[in-house]
């Protein structure tokens, strides 16, 4: 292999850069280039900059095509003298693709080393021949640019709103910018000057790209692995997602929220099967939410031995109280279900053994009742949580449930608002369902299924009276909740529902 053959590889500008998008090539294959000539533009999530030739030669091969997203160190092209044969050039390029990465700039891309030669060449990185410095990049530029990023919290510095926003986009710390405005205020101009002086050019000065969504680098966005994969499948750029996960990470719910907002199904569009069958059908891959529901409920039903207890409750008194409260207080729009949530909260406080989570090993018993309330939404079901509901009043619970349900339907819940919970209430009464059995929402230990209130003839003290009755069914995980405990809990719950005043205590 000739020593005159040089690889042009994806430079690393700044600590956070892990990949770049190949922009326009300034030279064509076969062109002579001199040291210092502009070769190709590279766009990162922060800046656009130009790779220059470190020495003279002829551009023999372009591997990174305009629009390709390549890892740092990946070969963009090959530079050699005119005498070198095409075969040698090709062998050199293939050779690079076989050897993995040795550069210190690469740590996360170890997997690339395993890529065989049948993989596209540009997916692998530079060779040991390149030493630690990419052959054709201007390291001065990258150093001075990255130096702009360093520094302490700059949120207190005096800067115009535009300068502050641009600094964030470019990854520039405002401490490194010399403010020339009044009282040292940093203007947009100051920021641009500093970036240009450091050898960078400004994103806005570049012609818009045809597919900005796809090529915006989101590799530096902090995201959970699931979120990253889901975003890739859905063609969503992580930069567009909110980051409500732990430590500011984009989590799965964030990707799903964006997907549902942009009306993207979390699965491909349903395809109509054109087969000549009498009954036409559509098949649809499961959405992310549907998969989660399926997995969790299947696992729950298979692993948790469901033990069910059922009880009827007379809600005439409750209906009267509800009417009184709603009439007396303009801030109250309390539903029957709100009463049931409140009753569960009060009963759970008395029966902490039901207020539990179980992972198969450890039983976690909670002080406060975080009650999940099942809300049907277009894509499936979500269970926002009324936290510490045992410490809240009926109206407070009611207004919180309304807000949670509103935002659940719009896909605007934060993950912490629907993940967790120590007990669940599911109500199908509004559909006229008399009673049903619900499946426990793991890792919770029990779920209450609420049917419709209906007028019935019941026998009390030897006479027949008309009463509004609803049926409550508790499904509990029999591994951790005993039958007697469940029964006592239900009996207490019935008491609170039938005599709402007793919840006041």
Partner 1 sequence: MTKQQYDLIVVGGGPGGYVAAIRAAQLGFKTALIEKQELGGVCLNWGCIPTKALLRGADVAHTLKEAEHFGFNLGEVTFDIKKLVQHSRSTASKLSQGIGYLMKKNGITVIKGTASLLDKDLLAVTTDNNTINCSAKHIILATGATARNLPSIKIDGDRIWGAREAMTPTQLPEKLLVIGAGAIGVEFASLYNDLGSEVTLVEALERITPAEDEEISALAKKAFTKRGIKILTNTTLTKLTTSSNCATAILNSNGEEQSITVDRVILAVGISGNIQQLGLETLGVKTDRGFICTDEFNKTNVVGLYAIGDVAGPPWLAHKASHEAVICVEKIAGVDGVKALNKTRIPGCTYCRPQIASIGLTEAQAVAKGYELRVGRFNLSANGKALAMHDAEGLVKTIFDKNSGELLGAHMIGPEVTEQIQGFGIAQQLEATEHELLHTVFAHPTISEAMHESILDGLGIAIHQ
Q: Which CB, 269 or 403, lies closer to partner 1? A: 403
Is 478 marked active-site? Answer: yes
CA angle 146, 147, 153 (to 5 degrees): 105
Task: Decide whether 249 or 494 has the Cβ nearer to partner 1.
Answer: 249
Lookup result for tokens 């909260």: 345
Among residues 26, 306, 368, 478, the one annotated as catalytic is 478
Please identify, using beta-carbon distances, which residue of 47 and 257 lies nearer to partner 1: 257
Closer residue to partner 1 (CB): 411 or 415: 411
Chosen residue from 165, 412, 434, 456 binding partner 1 by CB under 8 A:
412
Pairing of strands 446-450, 423-427: parallel
Asked if 306 and 478 touch (Cβ cutoff 8 Å), the reply is yes
Contact region for partner 1 (CB under 8 A) — 11-19, 31-39, 328-336, 475-483?
328-336
Subset of 157-196 contacting partner 1 (CB under 8 A): 161, 182
Residues binding partner 1: number (CB under 8 A): 19
Kindly state whether residue 466 participates in binding partner 1, applying the rule CB under 8 A.
no
Range list of β-strands (E), 178-278 = 271-272
Q: Residue 441's closest CA among 466, 423, 455?
A: 423
Name which of 28 and 183 has its Cβ closer to partner 1: 183
Give a three-class secondary structure readout of 296-356: HHHHHHHHCCEEEEEEEEECHHHHHHHHHHHHHCCCCCCCHHHHHHHHHHHHHHHCCCCCE
Q: Report the interhelical angle of 139-149 vs 188-197 (nearest 10°).
A: 150
Q: How far is the CB of 105 from partner 1 (least distance, A)?
A: 36
Among 206, 216, 200, 73, residue whose Cα is nearest residue 147? 200
Strands (DSSP E) found in 249-305: 271-272, 282-283
Closest approach, Cβ 321 to partner 1, in A, equals 16
**Binding to partner 1 (CB under 8 A): which residues in 64-123?**
none
- CB 182 to partner 1: min, Å: 6
Q: Answer yes or no whether residue 332 interacts with partner 1 by CB under 8 A.
A: yes
Nearer to partner 1, 116 or 330 (CB): 330
Q: Is 331 in the site for partner 1 (CB under 8 A)?
A: yes
Identified binder of partner 1 from the candidate list 98, 175, 229, 333, rule CB under 8 A: 333
Q: If binding is defined by CB under 8 A, does position 261 make contact with partner 1? A: yes
Q: Are 242 and 221 in contact (CB under 8 A)?
A: no
315 CB burial (10 A radius; 0-12, 13-18, 19+): buried
Minimal distance, residue 308 CB to partner 1, in Å: 31
* Shortest separation between residue 221's beta carbon and partner 1, angstroms: 18
Nearer to partner 1, 160 or 206 (CB): 160
Total Cβ atoms within 10 A of residue 433: 14
Contact indicator for 15, 146 with CB cutoff of 8 Å: yes
Strand intervals (E) in 18-108: 19-25, 32-33, 38-43, 48-52, 57-62, 69-71, 75-80
Q: How far is the CB of 23 from partner 1 (least distance, A)?
A: 33
Using CB under 8 A as the binding rule, the residues of this chain from 371 to 410 that contact partner 1 are: 399, 402-403, 405-407, 409-410
Which residues contribute to the site for partner 1 (CB under 8 A)?
Answer: 161, 182, 242, 261, 326, 330-333, 399, 402-403, 405-407, 409-412
- Residues with a known catalytic role: 478
């Amino acid at each position: 292999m000739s020593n005159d053959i040089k690889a042009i590889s994806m430079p690393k500008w700044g600590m956070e850069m892990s990949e770049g998008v190949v922009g326009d090539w300034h030279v064509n294959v076969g062109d002579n280039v001199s040291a210092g000539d502009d070769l190709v533009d590279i766009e990162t999530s922060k800046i656009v900059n130009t790779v220059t030739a470190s020495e003279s030669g002829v551009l023999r091969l372009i591997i990174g095509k305009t629009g390709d997203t390549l890892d740092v160190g990946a070969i963009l092209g090959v530079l050699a003298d005119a005498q070198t044969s095409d075969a040698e050039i090709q062998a050199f390029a293939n050779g690079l693709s076989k050897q993995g990465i040795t550069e210190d700039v690469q740590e996360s891309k170890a997997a690339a080393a395993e890529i065989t030669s049948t993989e596209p060449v540009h997916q692998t990185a530079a060779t040991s021949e390149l030493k630690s410095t990419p052959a054709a990049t201007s390291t001065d530029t990258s150093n001075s640019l990255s130096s702009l990023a360093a520094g302490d919290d700059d949120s207190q510095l005096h800067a115009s709103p535009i300068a502050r926003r641009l600094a964030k986009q470019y990854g520039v710390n405002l401490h490194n910018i010399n403010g020339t405005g009044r009282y040292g205020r940093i203007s947009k101009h100051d920021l641009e000057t500093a970036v240009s002086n450091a050898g960078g050019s400004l994103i806005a000065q570049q012609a818009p790209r045809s597919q900005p969504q796809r090529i915006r680098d989101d590799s530096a966005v902090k995201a959970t692995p699931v979120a990253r994969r889901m975003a890739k499948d859905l063609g969503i750029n992580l930069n567009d997602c909110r980051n409500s996960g732990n430590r500011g990470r984009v989590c799965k719910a964030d990707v799903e929220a964006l997907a549902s907002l942009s009306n993207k199904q979390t699965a491909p569009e349903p395809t109509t099967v054109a087969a000549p069958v009498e009954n036409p059908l559509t098949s649809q891959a499961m959405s992310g939410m549907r998969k989660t529901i399926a997995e969790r409920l299947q696992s729950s039903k298979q692993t948790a031995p469901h033990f069910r207890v059922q009880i009827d409750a007379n809600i005439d008194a409750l209906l009267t109280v509800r009417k009184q409260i709603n009439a007396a207080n303009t801030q109250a729009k309390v539903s029957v279900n709100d009463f049931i949530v409140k009753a569960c909260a009060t009963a759970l406080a008395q029966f902490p053994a039901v207020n539990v989570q179980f992972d198969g090993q450890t039983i976690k018993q909670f002080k406060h009742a975080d009650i999940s309330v099942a809300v049907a939404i277009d894509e499936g079901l979500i269970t926002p949580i009324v936290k510490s509901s045992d410490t809240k009043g009926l109206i407070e619970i009611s207004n919180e449930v309304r807000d949670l349900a509103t935002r659940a339907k719009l896909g605007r819940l934060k993950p912490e608002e629907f993940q967790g919970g120590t007990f669940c209430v599911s109500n199908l009464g509004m559909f006229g369902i008399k009673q049903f059995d619900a499946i426990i929402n793991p890792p919770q230990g029990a779920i209450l299924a609420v049917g419709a209130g209906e007028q019935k003839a019941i026998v009390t003290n030897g006479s027949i009276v008309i009463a509004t009755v609803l049926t409550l069914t508790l499904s509990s995980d029999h591994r951790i909740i005993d039958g007697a405990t469940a029964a006592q809990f239900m009996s207490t719950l019935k008491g609170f529902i039938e005599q709402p005043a007793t919840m006041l205590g």
